[in-house]
Amino acid sequence: MDIVVECYAGYRADEEPRRFSVGERRVEVTLIVQRWATQDDRYFRVEGDDGRVYLLRQSIEHREWHLL
């Protein structure tokens, strides 16, 4: 599922997600539980302000975010 993600931009753009929107629903990231990368993608397992855990993936080449 495609989403809109707002990120903290440190020494590189889109360093880590801070909040994301799915349609009209907005979720604040309260905790990054886990992060890892492959050659093509970056993954973030995050806890939202609604208490749910989400898995976000960013395509490194296309800079697109997806909710898995």
Kindly state the percentage of the chain with pLDDT values over 90.
Answer: 72
Q: What is the pLDDT of residues 36-60, one digit of tens each?
A: 999 999 999 999 999 999 999 999 8
Closest to 3 in 3D by CA, of 25, 29, 34: 25
pTM score of the predicted model: 0.88
For residue 8, give its domain range.
4-67
Q: Name 46's bridge partners.
A: 32, 54
Is pLDDT larger for residue 2 or for residue 30?
30
Q: How does the average pLDDT of the chain come out, rounded?
A: 91
Q: Looking at the predicted structure, is the pLDDT value of residue 9 above 90?
A: no
Per-residue confidence at 8, pLDDT binned at 50, 70, 90? confident
Domain count, the chain: 1
